[in-house]
Chains A and B, each alone.
Chain A
Amino acid sequence: QQPVQSPQAVILREGEDAVINCSSSKALYSVHWYRQKHGEAPVFLMILLKGGEQKGHEKISASFNEKKQQSSLYLTASQLSYSGTYFCGTQRYQGAQKLVFGQGTRLTINP
């Protein structure tokens, strides 16, 4: 079942902060975050694992609430380069061979 992302779109000025949420109705083992710039392929940002382990991007942080099956991506002091569509991908259990992606959140950063 596809996770739900919110908001669907957000517009910021450079330097502002943003939070993107990803919610699932099912228990999760991991949440993966990707960013896709217009006309390009998605690029891996980070993974959050059940138990608290987090691996990925230096300047972007995220949290994973296992009990609520939710993850949030925090973009602080946003830069123009942060513009794009952000996707969360969820893995139901350890060893699951599928990622189910949300519908995406479009982030626009204006000067």
Chain B
Amino acid sequence: NAGVTQTPKFQVLKTGQSMTLQCAQDMNHEYMSWYRQDPGMGLRLIHYSVGAGITDQGEVPNGYNVSRSTTEDFPLRLLSAAPSQTSVYFCASTQEPSLETQYFGPGTRLLVL
């Protein structure tokens, strides 16, 4: 099993550009989530999904869109990148309704100029 995979590993964008961060898992997990990690701020939830076709907002959803057409994939779209979105983005998944044992992907480091 590959676990949770994320692409790209690193990306540089200009302000106003859009892009999609890819996340996939091969563990048949229903719950998937996106976090951003900034220095001193911990992990902040952007969006999450409890199954295909079901998504909802987390703590910091503004400027991001998600969709979940399959169990395996959960892409995160930046609509119009801003310097404030410079961060490390982690995707995570779990099969547990209690949200325990979330498996995190390796992360995508995004720099917005």
A residues sitting closer than 8 Å to B (CB atoms) are 2, 30, 32, 34, 40-44, 47, 49, 55, 87, 89, 91, 94-104
CA–CA, A32 and B65, complex, Å: 27
What A residues does B48 contact at CB under 8 A? 97-98
A104 to chain B, nearest CB (A): 5
CA–CA, A42 and B101, complex, Å: 11
Q: What is the chain B residue whose CB lies nearest that of A47? A: B100
What A residues does B113 contact at CB under 8 A? none
- Checking A41, A94, A95, A104 against B107 with a beta-carbon cut-off of 8 angstroms, the contacting residue is A41
CA–CA, A32 and B35, complex, Å: 16
What B residues does A34 contact at CB under 8 A? 102
B residues sitting closer than 8 Å to A (CB atoms) are 31, 35, 40-45, 48, 50, 56, 58-59, 90, 97-107
B93 to chain A, nearest CB (A): 12
- Checking B31, B42, B45 against A102 with a beta-carbon cut-off of 8 angstroms, the contacting residue is B42
Please tell me if the beta carbons of B56 and A101 are within 8 angstroms of each other in the complex: no
CA–CA, A49 and B96, complex, Å: 14
Please tell me if the beta carbons of A55 and B105 are within 8 angstroms of each other in the complex: no
Given A2-B42, A99-B45, A101-B44: A42 and B98 interface contact (C-beta under 8 Å): no
With A98-B58, A103-B40 already in contact, 10 other A-B pairs whose C-beta atoms are closer than 8 Å? A30-B100, A32-B100, A41-B105, A47-B100, A87-B42, A95-B97, A97-B48, A97-B99, A99-B45, A99-B99
What B residues does A91 contact at CB under 8 A? 98-99
- Checking A41, A55, A96 against B104 with a beta-carbon cut-off of 8 angstroms, the contacting residue is A41
B84 to chain A, nearest CB (A): 18
Please tell me if the beta carbons of A44 and B43 are within 8 angstroms of each other in the complex: no
Given A2-B42, A41-B104: A100 and B90 interface contact (C-beta under 8 Å): no
